[in-house]
Amino acid sequence: MQILQEKLLGNHKLYNMDVKELKEQILNNIQNSDEQYQRWDALQPTDPEYMMYNPKPVGYNTTAEQRYLMQNLLTGFAGGTLLDIGCGRCDLYSVANEIAALNNDIVLYNAIDHNPIMTALGEQKWGLDSIQVGAFETAKFNPHEWVVASGVFTQRRCETEDADLQKLFEDIDIMYNNATQVVSFNLLSPINTTHHDGFFYVHPGLVLDMLIEKYQNVVLRHNYSPDVYTVLIYKF
């Protein structure tokens, strides 16, 4: 079995770790039952584990919903380098590791979020270190095979919808330039859904047309709920 003598990516290092041993460790840590998910979903804000395990602090109704949307974002991922934009408490790391382990591979993970409370939870929950705190638009990263943004673009960030749309495509371009294989993110659809103030809705047809024109290899999945869809841009 191949030994990883030292592999450095950003601030993360793996030393002399047997790949099989790491795979087994990952699967033991993240294979949770439906009963476990239901227990996490039932946690209340007064419970000590609420911020660490309940899906609502990171914008999801249930743990099953969260995992499904993250699996959508990682369609085609089999392991390798992964940059998690807007990582929150780094739950994408566990889903990515599960997928990679099933492919006899590992994940070399880097992440950034503007909220230091959430990044601290992510480091504690998954045993990570050096998760960056700040704005991804100005952060400096080495290229990663996959660059993923989960829930980053759901809220309005500008004063007008035109400015929001321009900002979205500028940020997609930043992600694209940091990726060597795939860019993945999700958006809110305005079709047949209730609109809420402060949230950013963009028509999937418009997004698909503009991204295909610029990047060519684009997949859009509107396969979970009326209001959320996933976009993947492939560089190969």
The per-residue pLDDT for range 135-179, each reduced to its tens digit, is 999 999 999 999 999 989 999 999 998 999 999 999 999 999 999
Neighbours of 150 (CB within 10 A): 27
* Superfamily of structural domain 3-18+69-234: Vaccinia Virus protein VP39 (3.40.50.150)
Q: Look at the chain and count its residues.
A: 236
Query: Residue 49: which H helix or E strand, with range?
Result: none
Query: Residue 119: which H helix or E strand, with range?
Result: helix 116-126
Strand partners, 182: 146, 234
CA angle 110, 104, 54 (to 5 degrees): 50
User: What is the model's pLDDT at position 20?
Assistant: 53
Q: What share of the chain is helix, strand, coil (3-state, %, to 5)?
A: 40, 25, 35
Band (pLDDT 50/70/90 cuts) for residue 31 is low
In whole angstroms, give the CA distance from residue 12 to residue 109. 8
Instruction: Evaluate whether 62 touches 40 at the Cβ level (below 8 Å).
Output: no
- Across residues 64-90, what is the average pLDDT? 94
- Across residues 212-229, what is the average pLDDT? 92
Please say if the pLDDT value at position 235 is more than 80: yes
Please say if the pLDDT value at position 210 is more than 80: yes
User: What is the model's pLDDT at position 21?
Assistant: 55
Band (pLDDT 50/70/90 cuts) for residue 220 is very high
Of 7 and 224, the structure prediction assigns the larger pLDDT to: 224
Band (pLDDT 50/70/90 cuts) for residue 5 is very low
In whole angstroms, give the CA distance from residue 48 to residue 190. 37
* Residue in the block written with tokens 């591979």: 105
What is the rounded end-to-end Cα distance, in angstroms, of the chain?
30
Instruction: Evaluate whether 28 touches 35 at the Cβ level (below 8 Å).
Output: no
What is the phi/psi pair of residue 182, to 5°?
Answer: -140, 140
Average pLDDT across the chain, whole number: 86
pTM of the model: 0.84
User: What is the model's pLDDT at position 17?
Assistant: 42
The set of residues, in sequence order, having a beta carbon less than 8 Å from that of 56 and lying 6+ positions away, is none
The residues spanned by each domain of the chain are 3-18+69-234
